[in-house]
Structure 1
Amino acid sequence: MSNFIVKKVAVLGAGVMGAQIAAHLANAEVPVVLFDLPAKEGDPNGIVKKAIDGLKKLEPSPLATKDRVAYIDAANYEQHLEQLQGCDLIIEAIAEKMEWKDDLYRKISPFIAPDAIIASNTSGLSINRLAEGLPAALRPNFCGIHFFNPPRYMQLVELIATRDTKSELLDNLESWLVSRLGKGIVRALDTPNFVANRVGVFSILAVMHHTQQFALGFDEVDALTGPLIGRPKSATYRTADVVGLDTMAHVIKTMQDTLPNDPWHKYYAAPAWLAALIAKGALGQKTKGGIFRKDGKAIKVLDLAAPDYRDAAGEVNAEVLAILKNKNPAEKFAQLRASSHPQAQFLWAIFRDIFHYVAVHLEGIAHNARDVDFAMRWGFGWSQGPFETWQAAGWKAIAEAVRDDIAAGKAMSDAPLPAWVFARNGVHSADGSYSASANALQARSTLPVYQRQLFPERVLGEKAVQGETIWENAGVRLWKLPQVDGEIGILSFTTKMHALGRDVIVGVQEAIARAEKGLKGVVVWHEAPFAVGANLKEVAEGLAAGKFDLLDEYVGEFQKASMTFKYAKVPVVAAVQGMALGGGCEFLMHAAKRVIALESYIGLVEAGVGLIPAGGGCKEFAIRAAQNAAKTGGGDVFEFIQPVFMTIAMANVSKSGAQAKELGFAQETDKIVLNANELLYVAIREARALAEAGYYPKLSPRGIKVAGRTGIANCEMMLANMKEGGMISAHDYQVAKAAATALCGGDVETGSLVDEQWLLTVERKLFVELLKTEKTQQRIQHMLETGKPLRN
């Protein structure tokens, strides 16, 4: 991989996309200059500054931590164009008007450094046509770089070359986007709306068409086209509201204007009801009403038959629901085709037409079928791409069914399926994915950056590396990858959602013992989530049987497992992605080091079920408070207890891996990785580096100074105010006081010196006492039944 570095970026356009692209660059610690027009009144940078301030208020936050915003500088086109000379990458993200982009390119061209990359974030305009707005000398450095909204969270970036773009530029840019910004790249062809929007918008148009054909309600369709078929919860019509109905209509219009000979062209038009909503300013979420709207706490949906809004219900027929729950894709699609229920006919119709569409257009819109499937997974949140879904359901059977519907006039277009469809048994295999333009299978990219992804996302039919098992039980697997590093073990939890039950707790201790005898280090890694905490079902069973002695023993074993990580003779590195809650958070806190994906949500959330952290979490914070206090002149332990007390009492969870450092769950020296697919690669090398440096565990701290009774009393003062203000219940108070007691070292004199085992014993005792309370038992049962916390 070349030593390609982007030191500074300019983003042109401080609208929704431009500002959030700038935010994500700042998340990656890349300084950004954000440009827009000068304000007509007041501060010339007023437009940009307002956009930057807006970033702080958005939820979910585009910023990994609030301080990232400091990396974004405000600028305007009249005063600051010379700042472009110091930028390695310039991303244009202004409105989708060709004449505006041409004008901006003319304005900025004299200020662009010869080696700088210029890219447009256009969602569908021709990249070759845009390049014409630049001087010939700059065109080899120009390409399309299409982020998806919101840029921090959406994995897809489409990279589009012009006829003149230098190939090494694209390779360097792709590598940087993948590793530094954590993106999944699809090299798109320069066709209208590229890959994801081309297929995704057609999919929405097909849903709209068949909604009316089968006389279904918008809420009914959203119930059918969400998680039940592997799509996001926002499904179709809620997604349109979130995107903006005017934006949706604009993208549809682009297809209408630029694809006159498309076999589906007659459908590239906003339905009359959509145009009517736009005309009266009901644009969706940004105008607080579109297809759906809130009326107090009630959700209303537009009913075209009325025409007015009614309560949203969205019920799925029992027969159709049973079909969708069938885990055999071939049987499921056969049943949908055979059913006479309108909902089943609707579902088959939308799948049939998307299969038909991608087959006909594959040659013209994408290099291969894998790119189409990844584009829809990463850009639209589909669990499977259209070609994967088709192949899983039986390639030939589906192809014949689609062909028959085309012949019968049921499909949206009479275009025949391409001959290659019937010549194959699918498009994905271990050797690659089918390219219609090359009439051959195409392997994955060989760019060196992808060697950092030991277990990359795969499409159906691709083989994954299995690794070599060293030892396993019902809760964990200890294994290794000899081809990467045969002396670093990988410890994976194998329970559902990686819940930490007895099998995991015992398995961790045995696995580390084995690693100490034959390995140089251990990485705790598996796909997200890292761990959702203790197995509450096991706890509830113990409560129902009144076996508090066994539960006390259970907590003791949990503490042993945490301490096993901390005092292992070989370095234990936690590779964290997704949720790491409760005991999962405590496990990673005890590791020698952590490698954390940016999109990780870490917290000690035991208060939500009426408990306190007792796997060593309170103990670790007490030790750190004592160590930090010893480094300061005042030596006040409570100064360092207070913030973590509120974090635990309010069950706060980090909103990013970077924020986990701020909350104290991770250390400043821990690695934050933006591409979760690189976690294992980086963690193995961190473990190897620790081993090569002569790793040995730190000695157990002695003489730990604790905040004691004064610290507990200070915490209680905060709790009393919260209780009086109605912010917490009496049981919340009891739980939080227990947390304060554990953090402050128990009911002892302030400034007392204790050891690590003392702190663990305090935690354990308080935890079991809370288990015996009726309200905690109610909270545990409610969480098991509903998945939500009970505030009793």
Structure 2
Amino acid sequence: MKRIIKRVAVLGSGVMGSRIACHFAGTGIPVLLLDIAAEGADKNKIVKDALAAAVKSSPSPVYTKDAVKKIATGNFDEDLEKIAGCDWVIEVVVERLDIKQQLFEKVEQYRRPGTLITSNTSGIPIHLMTAGRSADFKKHFCGTHFFNPPRYLRLLEIIPTPDTDPEVTDFLMEFGDRILGKTTVLCKDTPAFIANRVGVFSIMAVFSLMDQLGLGIDEIEALTGPVIGRPKSATFRTADVVGIDTLVKVANGVFENCPGDEAKQLFVIPAWLEQMVTNKWLGDKTGQGFFKKIKNDKGASEILTLDLKTFEYGPRVKPKFASLEAAKLIESLPAKLKMLLGGQDKAGEFYRQFHYRLFAYVSHRIPEISDELYRIDDAMKAGFGWEIGPFESWDAVGVAKTAAAMKAAGFPVAAWVEEMLAAGHQTFYTIENGKRKAYDPATQTYKLLPGSEAFIILSNYSDQLVWKNNSCRLYDIGDAVLALQWNTKMGTIGGDVLSGIQTSIEKAEKNFKGLVIANEGANFSAGANVGMIFMLAIEQEYDELDMAVRLFQNTTMRARYASVPVVVAPHGLALGGGCELSLHADKVCAAAETYTGLVELGVGLIPGGGGTKEFALRAADEVQHGEPDNIPLQNRFLTIATAKVSTSAAEAFELGIYRHGTDVVVPNQDRRIAEAKRSVTELYDSGYVAPVPRTDIRVLGRSALGALLAGINGMQKGNYATDHDALVAKKLAYVMCGGDLSEPTLVSEQYLLDLERQNFLSLCGERKTLERLQSVIKTGKPVRN
């Protein structure tokens, strides 16, 4: 029987429950959100208030605002019977076993046989919850542990009981992956499951080393953040966000319920942490924790750091370690880790001690919390935002060499690691024919990772490299499809990347069905290389700047009119030039979490890589019979003029960046490249014919230009736009209207590209534009001038 989820019930509307409901609604699934009945006339006040608070929270828990319409609310007293119409019931009430069991007893009165029933508990043993329930209930019951916020943290831990039907487990693993966009990790029913068990151990290990090595909070934050592939929130900021009481609760739970844990004593709560709980300094939820935000004497916001010796807050201190300074010169995270562990300063000692503890700990957790080592890596990457997992980190610094150093330092590895090394296996992971395999301790062999066919990781195809330059790598990913990626900072697009795109299309046209363009890492592309534009502009090298803009335009148009399909698979940031490339692709297969837009107005420019032309073209095509010609144009103009960026791929359709019926959203970003590859093959095999350059674009000239200029002047007089904002917006309007034409006229794409390029170049000569560009280069943000 094929199981279909048409409607979901979420029981409990607290922080997690309301946001889980929002995430399901965001994927298009109707939700019934229930909670306890409120006193007074409005019995649904509790659930309504909770949902309203979730919707108002930032970042948004839904992909688009309309998604909230899919959530119906109610209460347990009057509406629990409605779960009979749901295919999946998710319990998210308070973390008390007796309350959960009482609720499940009521649920069984109304639940249809065969309906999925799961709990989002993070600490209560899953198997204890079904005591007294029917065989059908137990068969369809499972733990489904989402991480907060559910939309953004990709981990979904699936925890079956001995009674759970394997079909249910398999379905939840697949559904969580494909529909909810999650990294689904199969867990054993052990305390804290996988991610919290290892994640809280890591935090407690850092606490211990901080005391041992005499380090401060600001120093630890510098050592445990992005420099080692961890989130900016590092250690103490993460604790503040999660809640210090929650951290203490998980640590105590492991200490009390894991008598066989060799590192049990590390979970003992330090006295200073106990004091913070007593003081109710629990982090963001109480307004202060390890950090506290205040208004200083000048009225500006300032973040203070807690001194754990005096328990007073003081100004943040920027730490200096020789190892960290040296690490800034290294791009590759594996190479950076290797260097940091070899550091001869206090930072190096910290990294060695921390990683020795971490590696030893995860090795001893197999098979206790997982039979497969890759599940631990997946859980830490998806749940705690680690760029690479602990076993991947161990591979990076050398398994055998590090294991020997660990043993000498008093941190022996698990026996299975010794056996692996003795058998001649030197790494936990290996790659064969573009497919990744992980070492399996049970069989002492390497096994293919599940989903290898669906998850294409371009860096795994190094032995199928077709071409490269300093920034780009072009791979043959099989089935006569090429894939291009580049490795510039933030995915910025400069001469090397543009050349790479042109060369890739040329090679695809000769011997392949088509080309996929995608990047790995945090973002697809933050746009054009601003530093290059600034350098050429400040030196008044306008001929070279003109050539650079022409190259960008020619490249996007080359993608548009290639003789084979070109499919772009963006994720994360896809701004400016990254957005323009998507606008010209045959198809976009965007990860759900894609933030895209034409943002050039913020730096005092207009989109110069074909983006302005393309929006003018699409506005002309959107004019409906009987509708004023300038409405679509005004909408498109405002999208660029206000530098709107979509907060999701779904919202990019509303902004007119992605096309309904052509472009698609891929919930799980790990599947986007495989989906793009499938799209290339499908387009080619269905008899792909390259589009013809357009010469029939109807631009409105003066009739629309006057209205747009009047609007700009109004914004300027109302102080909503600076003088320079207005200047840039006027040039944008000029291009999108086709120039100062006396009447509506049919023009070509090249005509609009020439206008776009000319006005882009003229803005490069403006002092205030140069100031904005310089500000972005120095601070990452444009100055308001």
TM-score (norm 1): 0.90
Query: Match of 2:56?
Result: 57
* Cα distance change of structure 1 residues 345 and 756 upon mapping to structure 2, 3 Å threshold: closer
Q: Could you tell me how far apart the structure 2 residues matched to 1:689 and 1:298 are?
A: 54
Stretch moving more, 677-686 or 502-511: 502-511
1:356-378 CA deviation, whole Å, 9 max, x = no partner? 32233323111122222221122
Letter in 1 for 2:146: F
Runs of 5+ in structure 1 lacking a partner? Answer: 457-462
**Given the alignment, which residue of 566, 571, 576 partners 1:572?**
566
Query: Match of 1:778?
Result: 771
* Cα distance change of structure 1 residues 576 and 758 upon mapping to structure 2, 3 Å threshold: same
Query: Match of 1:617?
Result: 611
| Within-5 A mapping of 1:62-77 | 62-77=61-76
**Given the alignment, which residue of 363, 370, 379 partners 1:366?**
370
Stretch moving more, 524-533 or 172-181: 524-533
2:18 corresponds to 1:22: no
Query: Match of 1:403?
Result: 407
2:541 corresponds to 1:550: no
The answer to whether the 8 A contact 2:504-2:515 is kept is no
2:741 corresponds to 1:739: no
The answer to whether the 8 A contact 2:36-2:77 is kept is yes
Q: Could you tell me how far apart the structure 2 residues matched to 1:56 and 1:609 are?
A: 31
How much has 1:423 moved relative to structure 2? 3.2
Letter in 1 for 2:580: E
How much has 1:25 moved relative to structure 2? 1.4
Query: Match of 2:653?
Result: 661
1:18-75 CA deviation, whole Å, 9 max, x = no partner? 1111222122212221121122233222222222222322212111111111122212
2:339 corresponds to 1:335: no
Determine helix, strand or coil for the equivalent of 2:532.
helix
2:387 corresponds to 1:388: no
**Given the alignment, which residue of 344, 351, 354 partners 2:355?**
351
Letter in 2 for 1:735: V
Runs of 5+ in structure 2 lacking a partner? Answer: 296-300, 432-436
The answer to whether the 8 A contact 1:323-1:335 is kept is no
Q: Could you tell me how far apart the structure 2 residues matched to 1:365 and 1:703 are?
A: 63
1:586-606 CA deviation, whole Å, 9 max, x = no partner? 121112222111111111111
Identity, % of aligned positions: 40
The answer to whether the 8 A contact 1:369-1:427 is kept is no
Letter in 2 for 1:5: I
The answer to whether the 8 A contact 1:637-1:706 is kept is no
* Cα distance change of structure 1 residues 775 and 96 upon mapping to structure 2, 3 Å threshold: same
Q: Could you tell me how far apart the structure 2 residues matched to 1:575 and 1:361 are?
A: 36
Query: Match of 2:298?
Result: none
The answer to whether the 8 A contact 1:595-1:682 is kept is yes
The answer to whether the 8 A contact 2:89-2:118 is kept is yes
Query: Match of 2:221?
Result: 222
The answer to whether the 8 A contact 1:222-1:314 is kept is no
Q: Could you tell me how far apart the structure 1 residues matched to 2:588 and 2:321 are?
A: 47
Determine helix, strand or coil for the equivalent of 1:553.
helix
Stretch moving more, 735-744 or 504-513: 504-513
How much has 1:556 moved relative to structure 2? 2.4
Q: Could you tell me how far apart the structure 1 residues matched to 2:328 and 2:10 are?
A: 44
* Cα distance change of structure 1 residues 112 and 240 upon mapping to structure 2, 3 Å threshold: same
* Cα distance change of structure 1 residues 710 and 109 upon mapping to structure 2, 3 Å threshold: same
The answer to whether the 8 A contact 2:616-2:636 is kept is no
1:98-156 CA deviation, whole Å, 9 max, x = no partner? 11111111110121221111111111211111222532331011111111111111121
2:434 corresponds to 1:440: no
Q: Could you tell me how far apart the structure 2 residues matched to 1:226 and 1:471 are?
A: 34
Query: Match of 2:679?
Result: 686
Q: Could you tell me how far apart the structure 1 residues matched to 2:324 and 2:777 are?
A: 28
How much has 1:681 moved relative to structure 2? 2.1
Q: Could you tell me how far apart the structure 2 residues matched to 1:495 and 1:333 are?
A: 23
How much has 1:188 moved relative to structure 2? 1.0
Q: Could you tell me how far apart the structure 1 residues matched to 2:771 and 2:620 are?
A: 35
Query: Match of 2:4?
Result: 5
The answer to whether the 8 A contact 1:10-1:32 is kept is yes
1:489-520 CA deviation, whole Å, 9 max, x = no partner? 43444655443323433443454345444444
Q: Could you tell me how far apart the structure 1 residues matched to 2:732 and 2:119 are?
A: 52
TM-score (norm 2): 0.91
Letter in 2 for 1:455: I
| Within-5 A mapping of 1:610-759 | 610-629=604-623, 631-634=624-627, 636-669=628-661, 670-749=663-742, 751-759=744-752
The answer to whether the 8 A contact 1:206-1:350 is kept is yes
Determine helix, strand or coil for the equivalent of 2:367.
helix
Query: Match of 2:759?
Result: 766
Query: Match of 1:600?
Result: 594
Q: Could you tell me how far apart the structure 2 residues matched to 1:322 and 1:530 are?
A: 27
* Cα distance change of structure 1 residues 577 and 42 upon mapping to structure 2, 3 Å threshold: same
* Cα distance change of structure 1 residues 509 and 268 upon mapping to structure 2, 3 Å threshold: closer
* Equivalent residue pairs, number: 766
The answer to whether the 8 A contact 1:147-1:157 is kept is yes
* Cα distance change of structure 1 residues 89 and 307 upon mapping to structure 2, 3 Å threshold: same
How much has 1:233 moved relative to structure 2? 0.9
| Within-5 A mapping of 1:39-54 | 39-54=38-53
* Cα distance change of structure 1 residues 728 and 377 upon mapping to structure 2, 3 Å threshold: same
Determine helix, strand or coil for the equivalent of 2:273.
helix
**Given the alignment, which residue of 430, 453, 466 partners 1:451?**
453
Q: Could you tell me how far apart the structure 1 residues matched to 2:341 and 2:555 are?
A: 49
Alignment RMSD: 2.7
2:203 corresponds to 1:204: yes
The answer to whether the 8 A contact 2:598-2:644 is kept is yes
Determine helix, strand or coil for the equivalent of 2:379.
helix
Determine helix, strand or coil for the equivalent of 2:687.
coil
Q: Could you tell me how far apart the structure 1 residues matched to 2:393 and 2:508 are?
A: 41
Letter in 2 for 1:542: L
Determine helix, strand or coil for the equivalent of 1:239.
helix
